[in-house]
Structure 1
Amino acid sequence: MGELMTGQWQQLGAEGGIEAYVHRPTGEVRGAVVVCAELYGINDYVRGICAELAELGYLAVVPDFYWRDARRTALGYSAEEREAGLVLMKALDRDQLLADAAEALALARSGAGGHGVAFLGMSMGGHIAVRAATELRFELAAVFYPGWLLNSGMPLVGPVPPLEHAERIAENGAFFLGFCGELDHILPPAEWQAAEQRLTAAGVAHELVSYPGARHGFACADRPADYDAAAAEDAWQRVHRALAERL
């Protein structure tokens, strides 16, 4: 990774509007990935994901969804920083998120080298990726422990949770690849099973994977209390395989 240039911030759309952290591959471009971060913002964990994607040949674009309230947020995983992230997350608006996702998709599509685009999201970002799949056209939605798929309760979800419109994902053509831990406190097994049923009924091409004993955040090594190395390795292998097959 020594000679691979690091990511850079780039303006999306009008001056003074949303920015994105963009990491470009140095060699042949195999597609593009819009990375939707957790509530912790565009921190070292997310930047590391982007570096890995770029090494694999994918343009990585991370929209700064918090830009209206706090630009370039990069929080760690302490209790205090989580609370700061929750404040920012609760201020997000569903329609504004979709507008931001569309801006990121436009950049990703223009830099995909004629290949496809995926949305990759973790937790809050997984929710945003699923919501985007109901309104925008791209090839793959790969989501880790996405919240609020079938329940509402905050502005970023809006009055109708995304899988109430699962048929739109089928119409827009994204393959839905999802990962959840058995012990996830935000996305319990019953809700994950209900999501599977909803996707099947709506005709969405999908694969949902559940990992026994894994917790919310199991894919993040920077969260040692939650990290599950075996589950994380399996999930990322599946993501890389899906990117290669679908973009």
Structure 2
Amino acid sequence: MQLGEAGPEAYVVRPVAPPIGSVVLCPEMYGINDYARGVCGQLAEAGYAVVAPDFYWRQARRPEPDYSAEGREAGLVLMRGLDRDELIADSTLALAAARALAPDRGAAFLGLSMGGHIALRAATALRFELAAVLYPGWTLNSALPMVGPVPPIAQSEAIAANGVHLLGLIGELDHVTPQEEWQAVGEHLTAAGVSHELVTYPGAKHGFACDARPADYDPKATADVWRRVHEALGQFL
């Protein structure tokens, strides 16, 4: 699906029955790969219409770096080319497309790693019901151009004003967002009055919910992640 007249392409999956809600899927820095498409399929099987934009479209056409060391470096190059305002523009188009697929139903953003950051950024600018973020990065630091001078959690008041409930799921050993930062995220959200639930999985690493990362994959934690995600979708959508 083309989003807008001059926007990104998106991978779209529709459920067999009329959708019970819609989800914008924001992927890891590896693009809309097999893992991301699998998540889209799982959500569609549960009854949700899913829109997964290619946020890299200004740099390359649907790139899919693999999980090798070389692929990681390629993904980092692509990610460093993202711009905060352009991400908001693409998220706006994606949300409109998702809502059009499930009129009169709620909408959520589901973000994976880099996509978790994008979902949080969207929550500072757009009104929707739920942001579910798995091992999100760059929540309270400005280490990348896409973050800009003010990271998303530093704008927690805007998230609260937009009425977005935040479900955050992270591993205890996450190297991108250490536990000290994750605790600070909770403090910011509480102070701003954001409806939220933050969960930490003991012993889990960054990317623990992705079975394409065998060194990090934690099947027990992953099962609990999807239980929580589907409960939140059912509650808020």
- Fold match (TM-score > 0.5): yes
Corresponding residue of 1:209: 199
Cα distance in 2 between the residues matched to 1:141 and 1:167: 15
Asked if structure 2 preserves the Cα contact closer than 8 Å seen for 1:30 and 1:113, the reply is: no
Say which of 140, 153, 162 aligns to 1:150: 140
Listed as ranges, the gaps of 5+ residues in structure 2 are none
Listed as ranges, the gaps of 5+ residues in structure 1 are 1-9
Q: Within 5 Å, which residues of 2 pair with 1:6-45?
A: 10-15=1-6, 17-45=7-35
Say which of 54, 68, 85 aligns to 1:64: 54
**One-letter amino acid of the structure 2 residue matched with residue 179 of structure 1:** L
Cα distance in 2 between the residues matched to 1:62 and 1:120: 10
How high is the sequence identity, in percent, across the aligned residues? Answer: 65
Cα distance in 2 between the residues matched to 1:80 and 1:74: 12
Q: Within 5 Å, which residues of 2 pair with 1:84-123?
A: 84-123=74-113
Q: Within 5 Å, which residues of 2 pair with 1:218-229?
A: 218-229=208-219
Cα distance in 2 between the residues matched to 1:160 and 1:200: 18
Matched, 1:187 2:187: no
Deviations 1:136-192 (A, max 9, x none): 000000001111111102110001111111011111001000011010001100000
Task: State the aligned residue count.
Answer: 237
What SS is found at the alignment partner of 2:55? coil
Cα distance in 2 between the residues matched to 1:70 and 1:59: 26
Q: Which runs of 4+ in 1 moved over 2 A?
A: none
Deviation at 1:36, TM superposition (A): 0.2
Asked if structure 2 preserves the Cα contact closer than 8 Å seen for 1:181 and 1:211, the reply is: yes
Say which of 146, 153, 161 aligns to 1:163: 153
Cα distance in 1 between the residues matched to 2:234 and 2:65: 31
Deviation at 1:67, TM superposition (A): 0.1
Corresponding residue of 1:6: none
Deviation at 1:28, TM superposition (A): 2.3
Deviations 1:54-98 (A, max 9, x none): 111100100110000111112221111111110000000000000
Cα distance in 2 between the residues matched to 1:191 and 1:164: 12
State TM-score, norm by structure 1.
Answer: 0.95
